[in-house]
Amino acid sequence: MPRDSRLHFAEELQQVEAAAMGGLDIVISQLDRTLEALEHQDVELAAVVVQDDDRVDGRYLEVHQSILSLLALQAPVAGDLRLVAALLHVVKHMERMGDQCVNICKLLPLIGHEPPTVPEVAERIQRMGKLARSEVVQSKQAFTMRDTDLAEDIVRQDQEINQLNRELFRLAIQVGTDEDLREWGMSMVMIARALERIGDNAVDIGEQTAFVVTGLFREFSDSSHRPAAGT
């Protein structure tokens, strides 16, 4: 490839990566609003998250099309090809995390404005939300910096999310016989599952970081891919 063409390709690839990382910023913003809506049972804010999912989908389509164009016109090889392949996975996980935010927000109107709650369950949901957000932020940092140690450290938080998910499920099925409380408990189980999946997708982005750096794909931890109890 001529030098000018190579420089142009490198610039295009940088722009595609920046667009993908910007997509993760959109997801973080969506997750922030999702967690706020969940904490305050804010149905109006939840509706905004649902409506704004088009931004995530639009960014996914934009990056995906750009990557296909690069593959067709530039035929990247070696490290560039690894990066292109990894970015395809990154935007796929980005789009899935956005969908999980929507899934949570669609549940909020069904729960009601002041539902009965179990503090132990609510506390675990809040902790899972904070961990999920931290994982997404760290997955972006690790990919941008090409830091495999930072990427692999995401698993530590993900293991805590998985543990909280299991604990929450056990608590939810023990809430008693009150119909409204049981319905709330089952909604929390579904929300916890969505948060757990956001964490798993962050781990997957971390794995793509390692792939870009080393050229080898490996799963950081089997525990991040095992179905959580009761899900």
Domain definitions of the chain by residue range: 3-225
Q: What is the reported pLDDT for 117? A: 80
Residues with Cβ within 8 Å of 66's Cβ and at least 6 positions away in sequence, in order, are 12, 15, 16, 19
Residue 228, pLDDT > 60, answer no
Quick one: pLDDT band at residue 1, thresholds 50, 70, 90? low
Tens digits of per-residue pLDDT, 82-132? Answer: 999 999 999 999 999 999 999 999 999 988 777 778 889 999 999 999 999
Quick one: pLDDT band at residue 176, thresholds 50, 70, 90? confident
Q: What is the reported pLDDT for 136? A: 98
Tokens standing for residue 157: 């938080």
Percent of the chain with pLDDT over 90: 68
Tens digits of per-residue pLDDT, 124-175? Answer: 999 999 999 999 999 999 999 999 999 999 999 999 999 999 999 999 888 7
pTM above 0.75, yes or no: yes
CB 152 within 8 A of CB 109: no
**Weakest-pLDDT range from 68-72, 97-101, 224-228:** 224-228
The alpha carbon of 29 is separated from its chain's Cα centroid by a whole number of angstroms, namely 12
User: What residue has token string 């916890």?
Assistant: 192
Q: What is the reported pLDDT for 226? A: 46
Phi/psi region, residue 112 (left: phi>0; alpha: psi -120 to 50; beta: rest), is: left
**Weakest-pLDDT range from 65-79, 112-126, 147-161, 214-228:** 214-228
**C-alpha span between 160 and 157 (Å, rounded):** 5
Residue 229, pLDDT > 50, answer no
Tokens standing for residue 125: 């949901």
Mean pLDDT along residues 216-225 = 67
CATH 1.20.58.220 corresponds to the domain 3-225: yes
Q: What is the reported pLDDT for 57? A: 96
**C-alpha span between 32 and 133 (Å, rounded):** 8
* SS3 state at 146: coil
Instruction: Say what the alpha-carbon torsion angle 134, 223, 185, 93 is, to the nearest 10 degrees.
Output: 50
Q: Cα dist. 213→10, 28, 32, 86, 147 in Å? A: 17, 24, 30, 11, 8
Residue 227, pLDDT > 80, answer no
Computed over every residue of the chain, the mean pLDDT equals 89
Quick one: pLDDT band at residue 2, thresholds 50, 70, 90? low
Residues with Cβ within 8 Å of 210's Cβ and at least 6 positions away in sequence, in order, are 148, 151, 152, 216, 217, 218, 220
Tokens standing for residue 73: 């016109």
Residues with Cβ within 8 Å of 79's Cβ and at least 6 positions away in sequence, in order, are 212, 215
